[in-house]
Amino acid sequence: MKLVVLDGFMMNPGDLGWEELGSLGELAVFDRTPPELTVERAKDAEAVFTNKVVLGAEQIRQLPRLRYIGVLATGTNVVDIPAATARKIVVTNVPAYSTESVVQMVFAHVLNLSFGLADHTRGVREGRWQRSPDFCYWDQPLIELSGKIMGLIGFGRIGLAVAVAARGFGLQVLATSRSIPRYVPNEVRLVSLEEIFRLSDIVSLHCPLTPETRQIINRKHLAMMKPLAWLINTGRGPLIDEQALADALNSGKLAGAGLDVLATEPPKPDNPLLTAKNCFITPHIAWATVQSRQRLMRTVVANLRAFQEDRPMNVVRE
């Protein structure tokens, strides 16, 4: 079986191995594939693996030997699922591999905002502490999390894990979900979306990107939030109207934001959030710990092996 990985660098920049996947077929790995080379590189493959390289209806049409598409991530928007289904091509993804790492990033941003870690570290490097007449200094109110309210938009695996961690910091937790959650701890209160915005000191996004949730953070909802509230997004960039958020931060209608995702990645130089007040952006790395990528690799291999044994798992359907 000929296997082609179109963009393997992000999952494995060199600290993991491809040997186990390679044991399942004749493997070719490309670090990155530009759109114009997608069909050329995959034309003889029976199984193609992609993270961000698009396999749309046109590309699938030109790959007559293709029987299997393995998405090296959870989101499958890069694959035209109906076109694959029409060809009886099995598409799989890797769910829930990064939950622990994403929770860690949520609170990395929360803790940064609570103590102004990035700004105070920068100030020390610039000599502020050395010149201080006192033994310490701070440039902004320092916030204790205990007793504050964290509101979660979306309450799947990651939302639940964030809730558990939040309780460890003494936070009260509210959550809202379009579907009925499988499990809700006693310490978590389910409320409406409007109550999340009105009551929360921290709003964290954990919902899927759908037509209904696209730009769920907009001017109307931002206006409902407390002026001292923070917004955290480790989900999907398009959940946020970026100009509306930048305006809220710059005008003082919102106190801060911690973002690991943006609507366009890498961002364009004119993205208003790059210069917004008290907006801290990390380059979509919540998923990328070594341990998380190891779990990802193991599941990618297990998915293909299950397909070869005619018992496919983690199949994505229309």
61 belongs to the catalytic site: no
Do residues 203 and 151 touch, judged by C-beta distance below 8 A?
A: yes
pLDDT of residue 219: 98
CA distances (Å), origin 104, targets 11, 34, 48, 94, 101: 19, 32, 31, 19, 5
178 confidence band (pLDDT: 50, 70, 90)? confident
Mean pLDDT in residue range 71-81: 94
CATH of the domain at 66: 3.40.50.720
pLDDT of residue 158: 96
148 confidence band (pLDDT: 50, 70, 90)? very high
Structure tokens that stand for 263 in this block = 């609507």
Domain identity same for 105 and 224: yes
Domain identity same for 245 and 160: yes
Query: What span, in angstroms and rounded, lies between the C-alpha atoms of 41 and 36?
Result: 10
Domain identity same for 55 and 116: no
Mean pLDDT in residue range 278-301: 98
- Determine, yes or no, domain membership for 313: no
Instruction: Check pLDDT > 90 for residue 180.
Output: no
Query: What span, in angstroms and rounded, lies between the C-alpha atoms of 102 and 292?
Result: 9
Name the active-site residue from 109, 120, 236, 293.
236
Instruction: Check pLDDT > 80 for residue 30.
Output: yes
Tell which phi-psi region holds residue 292, choosing left (phi > 0), alpha (psi between -120 and 50) or beta: alpha
Name the active-site residue from 126, 144, 194, 265.
265
Name the helix (H) or strand (E) containing 109.
helix 99-115
Mean pLDDT in residue range 221-226: 98
Instruction: Check pLDDT > 90 for residue 216.
Output: yes
Domain identity same for 263 and 138: yes
- Determine, yes or no, domain membership for 314: no
Name the active-site residue from 87, 128, 284, 298.
284
Domain identity same for 187 and 275: yes
State the greatest distance between any 2 C-alpha atoms of the chain, in Å, as a whole number.
Answer: 73
Mean pLDDT in residue range 32-51: 98
Mean pLDDT in residue range 37-41: 98
For the chain, state the CA radius of gyration: 22
- Determine, yes or no, domain membership for 296: yes
Domain identity same for 108 and 44: no
pLDDT of residue 38: 98
Domain identity same for 119 and 202: yes
pLDDT of residue 278: 97
Domain identity same for 66 and 177: no
- Determine, yes or no, domain membership for 192: yes
What residues have CB less than 8 Å from 19, skipping those under 6 apart?
A: none
Mean pLDDT in residue range 199-216: 95
115 confidence band (pLDDT: 50, 70, 90)? very high
Mean pLDDT in residue range 88-108: 97
**Domain range for 214:** 99-281
Q: What percent of the chain lies above the pLDDT cut of 70?
A: 100
- Determine, yes or no, domain membership for 158: yes
Q: What percent of the chain lies above the pLDDT cut of 90?
A: 96
Instruction: Check pLDDT > 90 for residue 224.
Output: yes
Domain identity same for 84 and 142: no
Strands (E), 52-113: 68-71, 90-92
pLDDT of residue 59: 98
- Determine, yes or no, domain membership for 266: yes
Instruction: Check pLDDT > 90 for residue 181.
Output: no
pTM of the model: 0.93
265 belongs to the catalytic site: yes
109 belongs to the catalytic site: no
pLDDT tens string 233-247? 999 999 999 999 999
Domain identity same for 88 and 178: no
Domain identity same for 83 and 103: no
Mean pLDDT in residue range 189-204: 98
pLDDT of residue 182: 84
pLDDT of residue 318: 76
Name the helix (H) or strand (E) containing 41.
helix 38-42
Query: Considering its fold, how many domains does the chain have in total?
Result: 2
Domain identity same for 81 and 127: no
75 confidence band (pLDDT: 50, 70, 90)? confident
pLDDT of residue 239: 98
